[in-house]
């Protein structure tokens, strides 16, 4: 998923005489994303953003980066990935079902992307208006599984943890984080085959393999 974005990012910088070859840059940038991601999950560093990662690689290469070029580079990275994005099966139907029952919905995402880029994609696919709150780590500075991001979402929605259910596809970040914040948590998808030993005790309150299974599960919780 990352490769088309990183290639477009390099092309943008190379047009401004960035000195690092494409293959070396792409491998290094993807590793930087992965390292920053892991560190943020473990609470060992500030949540990475595309802008900060671009800044780091340019400084390391001794390349002067203007604010305008940084913004253009971030946009270049996002464009091909966003273009290939599709809406998950049943997503719009399930969100409409929830909204029609008067439920308030929020979205929490660990992401290096600018928050507005995600909101534009949600709007483009007709999903943004279903959410009463959207919290992206690149904007909030909070990274799941930190319980504070769940608490901020609850505050934005005006509900208590006891009234809320969180749905996510990551055992540690989503299920573990939500449970630590006092929410019930539903796992979307399969349990990972190689569960970190620190996560073996994390138990979701329910599990669905498809979004279309979610309404029946929620009615049973």
Q: How far apart are CA 203 and CA 45, in angstroms?
A: 27
Query: What number does CATH give the domain 91-220?
Result: 3.40.50.1000
Q: Are 74 and 52 contacting, i.e. CB atoms less than 8 angstroms apart?
A: no
pLDDT per residue as tens digits for the range 65-98: 999 999 999 999 999 999 999 999 999 999 999 9
For residue 119, give the nearest of 131, 110, 102, 104 by alpha carbon.
131
pLDDT of residue 45: 79
* pLDDT < 50 positions in the chain: 197
Q: Which residues contact 195 (CB under 8 A, 6 or more apart)?
A: 171
pLDDT of residue 198: 55
Residue 84: phi, psi to the nearest 5?
Answer: -90, -5
pLDDT of residue 67: 95
Start-to-end CA span in the chain (Å): 35
CA angle 134, 138, 141 (to 5 degrees): 95
């Amino acid at each position: 998923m990352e490769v088309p974005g990183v290639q477009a990012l390099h092309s943008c910088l190379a047009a401004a005489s960035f000195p690092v070859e494409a293959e070396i840059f792409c491998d290094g940038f993807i590793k930087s994303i992965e390292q920053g991601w892991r560190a943020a999950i473990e609470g060992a560093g500030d949540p990475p953003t595309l802008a900060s990662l671009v800044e780091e690689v340019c400084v390391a290469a001794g390349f002067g980066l203007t604010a305008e070029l940084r913004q253009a580079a971030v946009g270049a990275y996002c464009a091909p990935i966003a273009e290939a994005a599709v809406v998950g099966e049943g997503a719009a139907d399930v969100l409409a079902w929830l909204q029609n029952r008067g439920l308030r919905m929020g979205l929490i995402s660990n992401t290096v992307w600018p928050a507005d880029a995600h909101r534009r994609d949600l709007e483009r696919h007709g999903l943004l208006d279903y959410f009463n709150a959207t919290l992206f780590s690149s904007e909030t500075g909070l990274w799941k599984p930190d319980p504070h991001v769940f608490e901020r979402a609850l505050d934005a929605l005006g509900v208590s943890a006891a009234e809320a259910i969180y749905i996510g596809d990551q055992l540690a970040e989503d299920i573990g984080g939500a449970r630590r914040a006092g929410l019930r948590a539903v796992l979307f998808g399969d349990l990972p085959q190689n569960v970190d030993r620190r996560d073996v005790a994390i138990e979701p309150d329910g599990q669905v393999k498809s979004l279309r299974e979610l309404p029946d599960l929620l009615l049973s919780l």
